[in-house]
Amino acid sequence: MKKDNKKVIYWLLTGCILIFIMVVVGGITRLTHSGLSISNYKLISGTIPPMNEVEWEAAFDLYKQYPEYQKLNNQFTLQDFKDIYFWEWIHRVIGRFIGLVFLIPFIFFLATKQLSKSTTKKAIILLCMGAFQGFLGWYMVKSGLVDNPDVSHYRLAGHLTTAFLTFAYTFWVALDLIYPNKKQINIRFRHFIRFGLIILVIQIIYGAFVAGLDAGFIHNHWPLMSEGQFMHDTVLIEQQPVYKNFIEGKSGVQFVHRILAYIVVLFIILIWRKSKKLNLTKLQSKGINALLFFVGFQFLLGVFTILLQVPVWLGVLHQVGAFFLLSAMIFTLHRFSK
């Protein structure tokens, strides 16, 4: 049987779509403050939600034992609890489903010898990344069950960034199979795009910091921060020592996210301009144009998300924009790499 056939490609692309859906639901879960509604982790039985009023009351009683209810949501009714429970439950179910979608076909393809050695190794890496992603999800939730009724923004960033990187690597492996033929490459230009990818990933991490610290609900002005300041006074005084403001302070983290947005836009414009001096293939040209479009779209989404104080729909759309921008970057880098 032919190795690395179309079925393997469809499997990998299906994984990409499911990770995308997972990230969208994860964004809704975060923005609706639903992530701490399920305070235990049961791999099998946790797939089934409460089925009657007795089970719902038991789940609600468990929620009442933790800081989020005691310090923030002690006015919650059972119906309020059901509303937030749904998003966290569906987020976890999709995670389990993704695990099965990756694992079961992998075993089948392996048993029927439909994977090359190279693809087998890459698939094992993907499975490990997926397992690590699941672990980080629970590790993140645990941080909000002790004293502070909110998850660590570091753990949130780790969880979200790993999801983006797992998607990126899955997409890359699929592209390897879709475009198996090697070609001559411009190494300097490839390095330039790689550097752009690194900046984009750092920006995604800072986007997670903003989400984790609820830093999008302050300084809801653009292009300047509050009171017409480029760098607001609070950027440097929220945390001590000073450097902590840029990784733990709400104003400082938002400021860095704003600046990185300009840097990402500038870098992609430079990629586009430099590409004009090269003899591009049709796919390379499409990749560059997609980069230019999605970075502009994402920048506008970011501006309106700040100005409108992060409505759920726009916060989720901004996260989706980051996903598409990363996809365009991965596709472009691949077309200039192999």
Return the CA Rg of the chain.
Answer: 22
d(C-alpha 57, C-alpha 59), whole Å? 5
pLDDT value at residue 42: 77
Cα 12 from chain centre: 18
Instruction: Give the tens place of pLDDT for each residue, 53-77.
Output: 999 999 999 999 988 898 888 899 9
Closest CA to 126 of 154, 106, 109: 106
Helix ranges (H only) for the chain are 6-31, 53-63, 67, 78-111, 117-142, 153-178, 187-212, 245-248, 250-275, 282-307, 312-335
Residue ranges of the chain with per-residue pLDDT less than 70? 1-2, 45
pLDDT value at residue 234: 96
Helix ranges (H only) for 113-228 are 117-142, 153-178, 187-212
pLDDT value at residue 2: 66
- Inter-residue contact 287 to 328 (CB < 8 Å): yes
pLDDT value at residue 17: 96
